[in-house]
Structure 1
């Protein structure tokens, strides 16, 4: 996987194991799938190594060594949700340190009304929610939601919906 500096520059590559063990900076692409006033939300499988069984509204994953965040976004969107051939729209980049996980999130959105095919090894459930429903769920501290996904959706609300 690509290793990043705290400033967001690629500085080398490392293994996922080392990145997690040492809390190294890395990058991930995050893609918000939208349809009208709805967003696609999913629950991670219970055997994921990070945040198992938690909900998220971003498809995506870690940027591989030699891969750009854009290429990662296209790859992850196809792998996780079966969505291809749709234009990605860049939204923002956010950096976070969540319990020693240091990450630069490259956020994008896509508009999609077609079929969604879940990657069963990573996603246990998925469905559409309005942004109001998602906000209501996020207000409940007992609803298990991925911490970096929460940071990204709150940034999205601040930038895009709360203007």
Structure 2
């Protein structure tokens, strides 16, 4: 999939910025968002197999600006100016995994006020779910590898604090995946 027009050099992309309450309040270059710890929003999609028994997990490429080489189970990215989180989720699912034309179900939303490499990182996270069995086409600049795990396999890995997993997704999934 080809990236959208706003997705050229990642540090020069203009993204939507938000206030701490989750209201869009302007724009800034992605590099500034990360260097100054500005609130922004991202949307991601949890992909389950059509029978619901497996979750698609991937490893982020080593060239990513944030959380390089970490594992994740949400295909997603930062919300562009004027774009809804659901539009972002559809765009990112197509860009990262080559999946389009699927229905998204909202899962949850959390705000994460954390840190990355000693810098503040603040993000409102919107999670969606879809059912899809593949095939997947990884965007090499985003995804290094991917595979299926059961919920139990993912939970076992998430229980290990030393396992490199995107920390904001870890927080987002804490309640969702541990619910019976």
Question: In structure 2, what is the equivalent of residue 29 of structure 1?
Answer: 43
Question: In structure 1, what is the equivalent of residue 22 of structure 2?
Answer: 8
Question: In structure 1, what is the equivalent of residue 165 of structure 2?
Answer: 145
1:97 to 106, 113, 118: 113
Distance 1:129 1:64 in 2: 31
- Contact 2:155 / 2:177 at 8 angstroms: preserved in 1? no
The reply to whether residue 156 of structure 1 matches residue 176 of structure 2 is yes
Distance 1:139 1:37 in 2: 19
Question: In structure 2, what is the equivalent of residue 85 of structure 1?
Answer: 101
- CA shift, 1:66, in A, is 1.4
2:154 to 125, 129, 134: 134
Distance 2:87 2:97 in 1: 15
Distance 1:74 1:82 in 2: 10
Which whole-Å deviations, capped at 9, do the CAs of 1:37-56 have from their partners, x for residues lacking one? 11000001111111111100
Question: In structure 1, what is the equivalent of residue 11 of structure 2?
Answer: none
- CA shift, 1:141, in A, is 2.2
Question: In structure 2, what is the equivalent of residue 17 of structure 1?
Answer: 31
Distance 1:61 1:155 in 2: 21
Question: In structure 1, what is the equivalent of residue 132 of structure 2?
Answer: 112
Distance 2:137 2:59 in 1: 14
Distance 1:64 1:154 in 2: 26
Distance 2:109 2:133 in 1: 25
Question: In structure 1, what is the equivalent of residue 145 of structure 2?
Answer: 125
SS in 2 for 1:150: helix
Distance 2:152 2:72 in 1: 15
- Contact 2:60 / 2:142 at 8 angstroms: preserved in 1? yes
Give TM-score, length-normalised by structure 2: 0.86
Pairwise CA RMSD:
1.0
